[in-house]
Amino acid sequence: MYRSHNCGVLRSSDIDTVVTLSGWVQKSRDLGGMTFIDLRDRYGITQLAFNMEVNEELCLAARKLGREFVVQVEGTVIERSSKNKNIPTGDIEIKVSALKVLNASKTPPFTIEDNTDGGEDIRMKYRYLDLRRKTVRENLMLRSKIAIETRKFLSDLEFIEVETPVLIKSTPEGARDFVVPSRMNANQFYALPQSPQTFKQLLMVAGFDKYFQIVKCFRDEDLRADRQPEFTQIDCEMSFVEQDDILNTFEELTRHLIKETKGIDLPTFPRMDYADAMRLYGSDKPDIRFGMEFVEINELTQNKGFKVFDDAELILAINAEGCANYTRKQLDALTKWVKRPQIGALGLIYVKYNEDGTYKSSVDKFYSQEDLAEWCAKAGAKPGDLLFVISGEKDKARKQMGELRLKMGTELGLRNPEVFAPLWVMDFPLLEWDEDSQRYHAMHHPFTSPKMEDFDKIEESPAEVRANAYDLVLNGSEVGGGSIRIHDRELQRIMFKHLGFTDEEAQNQFGFLMDAFEYGAPPHGGIAFGLDRLCSIIGGADSIRDFIAFPKNNSGRDVMIDAPSPLAQDQLDELSIANVEKVTAE
């Protein structure tokens, strides 16, 4: 028997019990006559005590133990003289009577404690050591809890969990596919799924009625910060449902998850149209933990001789409460920030609504105190507040102001990770213009149904057609998205046509789905949650990497196993991959 108890369970009520524990040496302290060791396992830390006077040999053996040695001890639970209130086992310690080294350890390359001295690269290379740290382990335990609670919740609602294949044909969801060469079919390739979209729709045609799957998806995108080439979705689909049925079901799921993990009861989730989200927050995923909504002040600012505003399509203001005392330096820093290429604003105009009721702005030359008072009134500013104004082409100004709003929210401490502000964003446009290919793409995906009341605009003004598509936003991040699907072959054909597919191309790529629509496809719709992101938000962290056991780095590499890596020539030959430059692994 390696252990009678784990390292997290013993309490004062166990005093005098003889126990066996196994675990890792977290640290040891030598106090002359006594040696103390913190023994760690997944469940916690228990202090081991060795007394030189009682057993010199044992104590000397304990002093030889290095960090991360795996040991087994036998001993008696005793009361600790100096108690440690910070850990649950802090009232007791083990008076050790026998010690066995189960395995030695090299000195780890970084300290395995809550706050480590190891940088990101070294921790990723030795991820199995990083995973020994409590903070990282707790993140993965949260993930496990979320996955298990999802399964419980959905299975109670009679959802069926179905696995769909990983070696498939491309599904067009806007990203590049990862491809896998087929040895048995020379020069042919599988694609890894960007999502199980078409399969889950086929399961609805098959009559499964309610499907879910916690599933790996793959997208070969240029890695922006905090994107992973493989990620996990909670993927769901339901038949005979309308949009509200989906929203209600998955709002309940989200509420259940936050209740079970954080103990927080969330009220009904607000819903907002995409158009309003863009107008008020300049984003399709607004962080509504705080207000600072945009106000449009064109009519108050134009035709007063300030050319920048006169030429602008849109002039937006936000009110930063209590910021009238911002210094020149702070305002310059913000101006510089919005002018960075990533944000791209031409400048930033401010109006200080001073405590004494006067106004001070960077455009005093063009605007009177009465003018500035009007702007402030429209933005709901009080004395002591600060207005920021950004102008320009409509979509750009909104986007730039959206970024500034988030930055100010962060600066003013309005984005507390312990506060959860969910929001449904609804009625997304069906199509989105793509500059690169000079054509319309499906904003969600090509299987999303249009709002029938808009559909007559599809020829004349395609951008105005809205879709039965929705996103679940949590604290300013998209955590889920879905739609009511097309289930009619003819409508799907028309959609493909508008997306620039010929009938033949559509048939080649999606014939299997369109054929299925001719065999009694029920009305259906669904949603997919990004599990990694959901975990990071519930866990109150910024990076999804912290919630993935073995993540890839920013260049899509796994530095621990060193992947991707070159293949041997005979392997390439077998896969009929010709002309690959022979690269020898270092």
- List residues binding ligand ASP (CB under 6 A): 173, 195, 197, 445, 481-483, 526-528
Cβ closer to ligand ASP: 254 or 391? 254
What residues contact 401, with CB distance under 8 A and at least 6 apart?
Answer: 282, 294, 316, 318, 388, 390
Partnered with residue 212 across adjacent β-strands are 161, 236
Cβ closer to ligand ASP: 294 or 428? 428
Cβ closer to ligand ASP: 54 or 499? 499
Cβ closer to ligand ASP: 282 or 481? 481
Number of other CB atoms surrounding residue 396 within 10 Å: 18
Cβ closer to ligand ASP: 108 or 526? 526
Minimum distance from residue 155 beta carbon to ligand ASP (Å): 19
Phi–psi pair at 370, nearest 5 degrees: -65, -40
SS3 letters across 221-288: CCCCCCCCCEEEEEEEEEECCCHHHHHHHHHHHHHHHHHHHHCCCCCCCCEEEHHHHHHHHCCCCCCC
Cβ closer to ligand ASP: 118 or 480? 480
Cβ closer to ligand ASP: 23 or 526? 526
Minimum distance from residue 485 beta carbon to ligand ASP (Å): 8
CA distance 475 to 277: 14
Phi–psi pair at 95, nearest 5 degrees: -85, 105
User: What is the DSSP secondary structure assignment for residue 443, as one 8-state letter?
Assistant: S
Cβ closer to ligand ASP: 526 or 539? 526
Contacts 24+ apart (CB under 8 A), 258-263: 258/420, 258/538, 260/145, 260/149, 261/142, 261/145, 261/146, 261/149, 261/538, 262/418, 262/420, 262/538
CA distance 148 to 161: 13
Minimum distance from residue 476 beta carbon to ligand ASP (Å): 18
Minimum distance from residue 313 beta carbon to ligand ASP (Å): 32
Minimum distance from residue 274 beta carbon to ligand ASP (Å): 15
Write out the DSSP string of 403-442.
Answer: HHHHHHHHHTT---TTS--EEEEE--BSEEEETTTTEEEE
What residues contact 550, with CB distance under 8 A and at least 6 apart?
Answer: 127, 558, 560
What residues contact 44, with CB distance under 8 A and at least 6 apart?
Answer: 6, 7, 8, 9, 87, 88, 89
Cβ closer to ligand ASP: 290 or 510? 510
CA distance 44 to 23: 10
Minimum distance from residue 251 beta carbon to ligand ASP (Å): 15
CA distance 386 to 391: 17
Using a 10 angstrom Cβ sphere, with 0-12 exposed, 13-18 middle and 19 or more buried, the burial of residue 436 is exposed
Cβ closer to ligand ASP: 24 or 250? 250
Minimum distance from residue 486 beta carbon to ligand ASP (Å): 12
CA distance 411 to 300: 28
Measure the CA angle with vertex 474, ends 142 and 119; round to 5°: 55
Minimum distance from residue 483 beta carbon to ligand ASP (Å): 5
Minimum distance from residue 447 beta carbon to ligand ASP (Å): 8
User: What is the DSSP secondary structure assignment for residue 53, as one 8-state letter?
Assistant: T
Minimum distance from residue 193 beta carbon to ligand ASP (Å): 9
Cβ closer to ligand ASP: 160 or 377? 160
Minimum distance from residue 211 beta carbon to ligand ASP (Å): 11
